[in-house]
Amino acid sequence: MKLKELRFGTELLKRGFASMQKGGVIMDVVNADQAKLAEEAGAVAVMSLERVPSDIRKSGGVARMADPEKVIEIIDAVTIPVMGKVRIGHFVEAQVLETLGVDMIDESEVLTPADEQYHIDKKLFKVPFVCGARDLGEALRRINEGAAMIRTKGEAGTGNVVEAVRHMRNITGEIRRLKGMEYQEMIDYAREIEAPAELVIECSERGRLPVVNFSAGGIATPSDAAMMMQLGADGVFVGSGIFKSTSPERMAKAIVEAVNHFNDANVIARVSKGLGDAMPGLDVHTLRDDEVLQTRGR
Amino acid sequence: MDVRIGILALQGNVSEHIDAFRHALERMGRGTSSEVFEVRNTAEIAICNALAIPGGESTTISRLIEKNHLHEPLCTFSGGIFATCAGMVLMATRVDDVRVRTLGLIDMAVDRNAFGRQKESFEAELSIKGLKGGPFHAIFIRAPVATCVGTGVTVLSRMNQGVVGVEYGKHMALSFHPELSCDTRLHERFLKKLGVCFRSEQKTSDMSKLTLPDERQIQ
């Protein structure tokens, strides 16, 4: 087969890759040892980053893409896919991660935005992107820019699932409401939520987003993860929840099993026993406006 | 013959396989008399006469097979297994990663991620042995290949890196993702081998030919 007959970086390949992650847990890791632990525990992929969200919260300042050396260290340590975070709108950080061989890029509100007006034009890349969203309009704007996967934003680094729940209910609830609308109402609704009409209609026909929808931002326990799955998530991202708990290895395995058996309370009860402390939690209502991450990018 | 197809739903793109098999059965005029559903445990596997192991992460699926005590029921399954991507890795006798415990149902050695990382994932028009209707639009996502296959294993397709499709007895294993192609010819071929025939080929007085084999085409 000649190389020119092969097509790379198509929409189908990007969405297909995202689809392979379904039913899985994607874990934040900051070094090779954590990546190996995550892989060993059954993670479908790891998210490589400089610091987990709760540490980003503590240290303040500008949070950027991880050091390429760190990313390569993680890529070399595991055989599962490796993802990486870039700042919203920072297309050069994305070009760098693509060159390094990262399998998916997270254009993430957890890092300090580089552009307050535009997100990255994701269709220009061969590598697929995942983006955060709080509601249907935001999800569809990201998909329109080329995102192959959506995740709820939640409120990262808090260990508090309340915002992830809010965002997942927003998205699934809005899609359910589309069912009762006639064509003209959908066009009007698309305008209201600032989303492309054809994507709104596609959601209505499929009864779901046109791409895989994961949950992220505050998942700290096996029950949190299973709850998000029952609310309709295709899989979960766990950020600080694993490596800020008292026994990361057991927590990682327990969350993988809880996602696998998300409808079986017996299994969730069993894996939750004696896990030690989950990560320290934060009440999102006590956050100052400038500490809230989910409002970055819209 | 009516067929009950179980899609192993531990992790990966399960729903696409369900849709593809339902579509294939409809095209064969078998839509109403057959079932396609998710399977997660021994009891559910036992009532199937065909299984599909979908794409996903082979290390993750392998661990979940162990965790859920499904290794034995899968190894001794008497029906056919349709395996794609990570599924193909699991069907092999040998794999280049000690952490993946394979089922050993097809005599072949498999390399995981043989084409490289996601940016090297590709679509290609693939010619497949004995498949009518032209080349198959194949979608390779961090795909494995078989580096060598045993005698008795039929090679369906081959690329520079290795073998990308095999048949062995009732089983079929593919490096790529036919469930993403909107082309059910390979699903239909797998079902035909199991003895599921096109409604129109049955020797009955029923002349309502819903689907003819030569009507198949790439959508």
Is the distance from CB of A226 to CB of A259 less than 8 angstroms?
A: yes
pLDDT digit string, tens, across residues B39-59: 999 999 999 999 999 999 999
B85 catalytically annotated: yes
The Cα of A163 is separated from the nearest Cα of chain B by a number of Å equal to 26
B187-205: average pLDDT = 74
The least confident of A8-12, A164-168, B158-162, B202-206 is B202-206
Provide the H-helix boundaries in A146-221.
162-178, 183-192, 197-206
So what's the pLDDT on residue B203?
44
- Contacts of the segment A177-181: beta carbons below 8 A, 24+ positions apart: A178/A203, A178/A204, A179/A204, A179/A207
- Rounded Cα distance, B174 and B82, in Å: 8
pLDDT digit string, tens, across residues A90-148: 999 999 999 999 999 999 999 999 999 999 999 999 999 999 999 999 999 999 999 99
- Rounded Cα distance, A174 and B165, in Å: 42
Strand order of the β-sheet with A149-152 is A212-214, A149-152, A129-133, A104-108, A82-87, A45-48, A25-29, A236-238
Give the one of A6, A40, A45 whose C-beta lies nearest to B124's C-beta. A6
Query: Is B180 within 8 Å of A12 when comparing Cβ atoms?
Result: yes
B177 catalytically annotated: yes
Question: HEC profile for chain B?
Answer: CCCEEEEECCCCCHHHHHHHHHHHHHHCCCCCCCEEEEECCHHHHHCCCEEEECCCCHHHHHHHHHHCCCHHHHHCCCCEEEEECHHHHHHEEEECCCCCCCCCCEEEEEECCCCCCHHHCEEEEECCCCCCCCCEEEEECCCCEEEEECCCCEEEEEECCEEEEEEECCEEEECCCHHHCCCCHHHHHHHHHCCCCCHHHCCCCCCCCCCCHHHCCCC
Q: Is A72 in CB contact (< 8 Å) with chain B?
A: no
B75 catalytically annotated: no
ipTM score for this prediction: 0.93
Q: Is B161 in CB contact (< 8 Å) with chain A?
A: no
Catalytic residue annotation of A = 85
The burial of A46, by beta-carbon neighbours within 10 Å (0-12 exposed, 13-18 middle, 19 or more buried), is given as: buried
Is the distance from CB of B157 to CB of B164 less than 8 angstroms?
A: yes
Q: Is A19 in CB contact (< 8 Å) with chain B?
A: yes
Cβ contacts of B159 on chain A, cutoff 8 Å: 1
Catalytic residue among B17, B23, B171, B177: B177
So what's the pLDDT on residue A135?
98
Cβ contacts of A39 on chain B, cutoff 8 Å: 59
The Cα of B23 is separated from the nearest Cα of chain A by a number of Å equal to 16
Q: Is B10 in CB contact (< 8 Å) with chain A?
A: yes
Cβ contacts of A16 on chain B, cutoff 8 Å: 13, 121, 139, 141, 177, 180
Q: Is B165 in CB contact (< 8 Å) with chain A?
A: no
